[in-house]
Amino acid sequence: MRQSSLVVVANRLPLDDNAAPDGACEWRRSPGGLASALHAILEGTPATWVGWGGGVGGAPILPDIGTLRLRPIALTEEELRGYYEGFANSTLWPLYHDAVEQPVFDRGWWETYRAVNHRFAEAAAEVAEPGAAVWVQDYHLQLVPQLLRELRPDVLIGFFMHVPFPPPELFMQLPRRVELLRGMLGADLVGFQREQAAHNLAQLAVKLLDAEYTAHSIRVDGRVVRTGAFPVSIDVAEMESLSARPYVRNQVAKLRHDLGVHKKVLLSVDRLDYTKGIEHRLTAYNELLRDGRLKVRDTVMVQVAVPSRERVESYRGLKDRIEGEVGRINGEYGRVGEPAIHYLNQPFDRADLAALYQTADVMVVTPLRDGMNLVAKEFVAARSDDAGALVLSEFAGAAAELEDAFLVNPHDLDGLKETLLRALDAKPADLARRMSAMRAHITYHDIHAWARAYLTALDHTGRLARTLPRQRVAAYSDRHR
């Protein structure tokens, strides 16, 4: 295996689940996914990506994707259940999302999580050239920074948490809290979506490890670990280009015709996950129809729910509840050939998503808790017409940046209903002002700006940042460095 000066370590490789029989590799793109965020900055960058290929059994031999080398990690069926479905997504995921769903603490899952993290660390150590930078991604791999430091003290280690990082009172519930904390603090730089998460980490380090904390740094075990907020973004230029394609324009016209030319279209695009607030959203829409404040002849909802973690019991239950509620609403308020809700439980390719974004009058992004939510930013990037409204949860990381959205507390159903009505009734001039301001923000703070800011903060030299594709450049302020 050749070595690289930049190594990305993530749970998944950026491959399509249905790879072509001839072995051709494609980027795996999904709404809000980590692979979607990293796609733009790594597609043309000499680097190695360490990750799981998605299957069980031996690690496949995979060709490079352009300049990107792939180093697959093998998982057994038992490891998939304990590491991924268990500790990562039934313990950490719910706890980190405000315990919206009760986390499950299983001692066996922890042992598997630790073993798999060690395998990732060993692979990263193998492919990193002397003095390389290794960029570890997200909650699946929290132990990797410290494990890698023990194996390769010569490398520069970055860790980025894409999901929320909880306040101390929630994190303290974890039986293995000290090991997880030490794992993250093995990095030279720990990055988060929001500044509050960095503060949460510092509080925990002081409480559990007797660390010292100053602005944006934690001194622990004789080392200084830097922290900061680096809000992740999207490839704005790619979404703008995609949205201008003739196929997408034609799809917009077809969707408008099929949904009803004179109808207002409410759109939501989510992974099928209990953190996304889909049930709250359906309840609000149902009550607006029940009270006659919205009518099926004037309004239609399109809910895309991309399948997710289908083997995890809580996700199967959520799917059943949502499908039951959609059926009930359509049965009560729909008419022949005119449903109240179009519900699509299937993956969507990028072009069809861009068409949906441009069809919507109101984009409804109302997670109960979300690290960022890139769908909200994709919608804004797709609206070169400066039309459309964005209803956005206060509890999505994107709310701190997209202040001109119609912000809402999704737990407040009456407030959610009123906000939906305000967005539907907003004047075109008000919508254009809001959308223009949001588009200006994400154009300046795009995915390239995020990567350059993080990597420059990691190595202090800008050398790593200069290896990235020289596309649209936007500079962050230095407040988090």
Q: What strands lie across the sheet with 128-137, from one edge to the other?
A: 68-73, 47-52, 4-12, 128-137, 156-160, 189-192, 223-229, 217-220, 212-214
- Indicate the helix (H) or strand (E) that contains 62: none
Q: Please, what is the Cα angle at 235 between 229 and 241, to 5 degrees?
A: 160
Residue 136 phi, psi dihedral angles, 5° rounding: -95, 135
- Asked if 370 is an active-site residue, the reply is yes
- Indicate the helix (H) or strand (E) that contains 73: strand 68-73
Q: Could you give the 3-state DSSP secondary structure of residue 475?
A: coil
**Considering 235, 273, 370, 446, which one is annotated as catalytic?**
370
Judge whether 10 and 158 are in contact, CB under 8 Å: no
CB crowding 231-269: b at 16 or more within 10 Å, else e = bbbbbbbbbbebbeeeebeebbeebbeebeeebbbbbbb
**Considering 39, 97, 162, 445, which one is annotated as catalytic?**
162
What is the residue whose two structure tokens read 């009058």?
361
Question: Hey, which bits of 183-279 come out as E strands?
Answer: 189-192, 212-214, 217-220, 223-229, 264-271
Distances (CA, A) of 145 to 5, 156, 458: 17, 10, 14
Distances (CA, A) of 245 to 9, 27, 91, 402: 33, 20, 42, 26
Catalytic residues: 162, 370
